[in-house]
Structure 1
Amino acid sequence: MHTPTLTILAALLTALVTAVLYAVWHFNKNIPGLRLWMLSFLCSLVFTVSLLLRGWLPEVVGVVISQGVVALGAYLCLLAGRSYMGLRPFSHLYAVAGIGALLALSVVFTLVYPHLGMRFVLMGVGSGVCYLLTARTLAVGGIHRVPARYLLAGVLCLHGLFVLLRPALFALGGAVPDGVLEGGLMASVSQFVLLEAIVATVLLSFGALILTNEFITSELRHLAEVDPLTSVFNRRAFFTLLDKAVSSTQRTHMPLPVLVLDLDHFKTINDTWGHRAGDDVLRHFVDLALRCLRKEDVMGRLGGEEFAIFLPNAGAQGARAVAERLRRLVESHPAVAGARSIPLTVSIGIALCGPGDAASAALQRADEAMYLAKQRGRNRVEMSGSAEPDTASAAVATVA
């Protein structure tokens, strides 16, 4: 297959990929980086079209267009990767300065000191570095947990290395000063480069679509597992995780502390200040609770103002210490709704889930301990099986 035919094929394929990515972005505009990837492929399309039109364009115009869109496309790819990973973009001033310097040098090596090899070097260095940086940006999170990112990162890395080494291939093929590629070896090199570009286009578009699917799947999982108001696990997801943690205790023979927490007089808060203030109180409470927890601790909302927490590898004393710290923190930090300060306390029940216990049974015992805390005056911590009042806890809340 001769070079013009490959160029036409590359242009058609890039146009198709750009159209597909635009359609996906049009209906999923919340996916980070997708619009930038679409624009990056659009730059590739402009580049392939400029190759087809190079016989009808002044040489310097064709060089400026080719160099500009290749550099811009690689930079947009880097921005897309950073956007997908939630990283801040680079300052565009550096990109404008870099691309401007690239174009100026390209004009110099076209009009002042004609040198096709140097133009290949300029085209390869900037874009190759951007592709390698994008690969480094995406290769985070663990290959077993997010394989799609590593797949795309691998393709970007190989493509970036090829782009950096591409000038050496043309040097081996032999390019004449006026930019016309001659000879069988040069034609073969040119065809090989176009084939690599076609394969890279297919694989990169495939990777971008896989990342789109990864993001959508993650969002759906988030909606299915996370309480939309407080952003902790919902009841169903919490029970699933608790069952897994209980299964782990069967192997390690270490008891798993389970806490049930209920905000005191929450109905009064809703009736007095309104449901919007009640929502603010729930979010405020969760923020305070998360301050007391480790990364491995799991918190969920069972419903209304009732929450549950399990603490792997904490033990009875560790669980009581966490519960007391949380109780004091809630008591000393009233919620703020607008200009109003809303006093807040919490009652906490603790149960230990040992080997052979069921998760539901442990949660039930923690719930009973929490109701015991309510009966003994609220704003206190009770351990399942404790018969005496917990003198370490303060019963300062007034029963409604």
Structure 2
Amino acid sequence: MHTPTLLIIAALLTGLVTAVLYAVWSFNRNIPGLRLWMLSFLTGSVFGVSLLVRERLHEVVAVVVSQATVSLAAYFCLMASRAYMGRRPFSHVYAVVAIATLVALSVFFTVVHPHQGMRFVFAGLGAGICYLLAAATLAQGGLRRVPARYLFALVAGLHGLFLLLRPALFQLGVAGAPGEAAGAGLVAQLSQFVVLEAIVAVVLLAFGALILANEYITTELRHLAEVDPLTSVFNRRAFLTLLDKAISSAQRTQSALPVMVIDLDHFKKINDTRGHRAGDDVLRHFVMLALRCLRKEDVMGRLGGEEFAIFLPNAGDGGALAVAERLRALVQAQPLLATDACPIPLTVSVGVTLCADGDSADSALQRADEAMYLAKERGRNRVETLAKPAAAHAVHAATES
């Protein structure tokens, strides 16, 4: 298949990919980086078209358009990767200066001092570096957990490496040819190979971008299913699932797993006197304070209303009591500073238990809940513990929140 035909296929394929990404972005505009990936392929389409009509353009115009578009396509890909990973974008001033410099050098080695080898070097230099940086940006998070990122990073990295090594490939081909005619034929074959590589890269990068979009949507859906929308901690169902897994792990490793249940004292009174908006602010304020007392491996969930639960892997009974007391004191010492009224004081009652052999998530939570109600029965704003299963206290129905 000759090179013009391959160029037509590449241009059509890149245009099709651009249309698909635009359609996906139109319905999912919150996916970070997707618009920039679409712009990357759109710029790539312009580059493909410029190659097809190159013979009809002035030489300088053709060089400027091709160099600028191939560099912009790679730069948009890099920016998309950074946006997807939540990183700050580079200053566009540096990108403009770098691309303008590459364009000027390409024009210089085309018109002023013609040198095909240097043109090849600058044609792939900026793009190659951008694709390698995009690969390094995405290759994070763990292969098993986010394989789509590593697939995209692999393709982008290989493509960037090929762009940087392409001048050496042509140089070796020309140097190894036995004659001028053979050298010209080999260059034509290498040109076809370059276009084929570009087609494969377009397909795989588009496939990777769509997989990344799917990964983001799946993560968002999982977040909605597992996280309490008001406080951004795990909801009851997700917390129980994680607690079950933690109990199984603790029993296998014979390690301690403390569980605590926390209830906000007199929360109903806050809602009745200050309004539900103030009540929501109190819940978020409490979660913010609680997270300051926890380690990264500790897990917190909202069981419902004003009741929360926490489990602390490998903390031990003494460690859990220290955390519970620190949390109780912090909540008491830092009332919510309301914007339209006086501060809202807050205290909590905390129940702590240590998971025993044969415990399920429900039984462990029930025991911690009994300890929490014992704290309420004994005056609130305190920490109580139950080390062994105990009969349910009759104060469940009698003690108001």
Q: TM-score range by the shorter chain?
A: over 0.9
> Which 4+ runs in 1 deviate beyond 6 A?
none
1:14 is matched with 14
What secondary structure is seen at the aligned counterpart in 2 of 1:337?
coil
Structure 1 residues 138 and 44 mapped into 2: Cα distance closer, same or farther (>3 Å)?
same
Counterpart CA distance in 1 for 2:71 and 2:173 is 24
- Write the letter of the residue equivalent to 1:295: K
- Write the letter of the residue equivalent to 2:274: W
2:276 is matched with 275
2:288 is matched with 287
Counterpart CA distance in 1 for 2:361 and 2:111 is 77
Report 1:49-64 matches (<5 A): 49-64=49-64
Task: Determine if contact 2:47/2:69 at 8 Å carries over to the other structure.
Answer: yes
Structure 1: runs of 5 or more not aligned: 176-180, 387-398
* Mean Cα deviation higher: 261-270 or 350-359: 350-359
What secondary structure is seen at the aligned counterpart in 1 of 2:359?
coil
1:85 is matched with 85
1:350 is matched with 352
1:395 is matched with none
2:155 is matched with 155
Task: Determine if contact 2:354/2:387 at 8 Å carries over to the other structure.
Answer: no
1:177-227 deviation line (CA, Å, top 9, x unaligned): xxxx98221110010000000000000000001100110000000000000
1:258 is matched with 259
1:343-394 deviation line (CA, Å, top 9, x unaligned): 00000001111122222111111101111111111100000159xxxxxxxx
1:26 is matched with 26
2:144 is matched with 144
Counterpart CA distance in 2 for 1:119 and 1:188 is 19
Counterpart CA distance in 1 for 2:99 and 2:142 is 34
2:334 is matched with 333
- Write the letter of the residue equivalent to 2:348: V
- Aligned partner of 2:374 among 372, 375, 378: 372
1:116 is matched with 116
What secondary structure is seen at the aligned counterpart in 2 of 1:87?
coil
Given the alignment of the two structures, is residue 106 of structure 1 paired with residue 106 of structure 2, yes or no? Answer: yes
Task: Determine if contact 1:135/1:153 at 8 Å carries over to the other structure.
Answer: yes
Structure 1 residues 173 and 59 mapped into 2: Cα distance closer, same or farther (>3 Å)?
farther
What secondary structure is seen at the aligned counterpart in 2 of 1:250?
helix
Counterpart CA distance in 2 for 1:385 and 1:27 is 53
User: Alpha-carbon deviation of 1:174?
Assistant: 4.3
User: Alpha-carbon deviation of 1:115?
Assistant: 1.9
Q: TM-score, normalised by structure 1?
A: 0.93
Aligned residues: 383
Structure 2: runs of 5 or more not aligned: 176-181, 389-399
User: Alpha-carbon deviation of 1:107?
Assistant: 1.8
2:36 is matched with 36
User: Alpha-carbon deviation of 1:29?
Assistant: 0.4
1:296 is matched with 297
What secondary structure is seen at the aligned counterpart in 1 of 2:353?
strand
Task: Determine if contact 1:255/1:355 at 8 Å carries over to the other structure.
Answer: no
Given the alignment of the two structures, is residue 383 of structure 1 paired with residue 378 of structure 2, yes or no? Answer: no
Task: Determine if contact 1:32/1:84 at 8 Å carries over to the other structure.
Answer: yes
User: Alpha-carbon deviation of 1:336?
Assistant: 2.2
Report 1:306-317 matches (<5 A): 306-317=307-318
Task: Determine if contact 2:135/2:153 at 8 Å carries over to the other structure.
Answer: yes
2:218 is matched with 217
Counterpart CA distance in 1 for 2:256 and 2:157 is 47
- Write the letter of the residue equivalent to 2:132: L
1:11-50 deviation line (CA, Å, top 9, x unaligned): 1100110100111011100000000011001111001100
Given the alignment of the two structures, is residue 129 of structure 1 paired with residue 129 of structure 2, yes or no? Answer: yes
Counterpart CA distance in 2 for 1:127 and 1:279 is 50
Aligned-CA RMSD value: 1.6
1:69-128 deviation line (CA, Å, top 9, x unaligned): 111111111101000000000111110111111111122122211222211111111110
Counterpart CA distance in 1 for 2:149 and 2:198 is 20
1:242-266 deviation line (CA, Å, top 9, x unaligned): 0001111221223321100000010
* Mean Cα deviation higher: 311-320 or 354-363: 354-363
Counterpart CA distance in 1 for 2:185 and 2:173 is 9
1:392 is matched with none
Counterpart CA distance in 1 for 2:223 and 2:338 is 27
Given the alignment of the two structures, is residue 94 of structure 1 paired with residue 100 of structure 2, yes or no? Answer: no
Counterpart CA distance in 2 for 1:274 and 1:188 is 76
Task: Determine if contact 1:346/1:378 at 8 Å carries over to the other structure.
Answer: yes
Structure 1 residues 20 and 159 mapped into 2: Cα distance closer, same or farther (>3 Å)?
same
Counterpart CA distance in 2 for 1:26 and 1:359 is 43
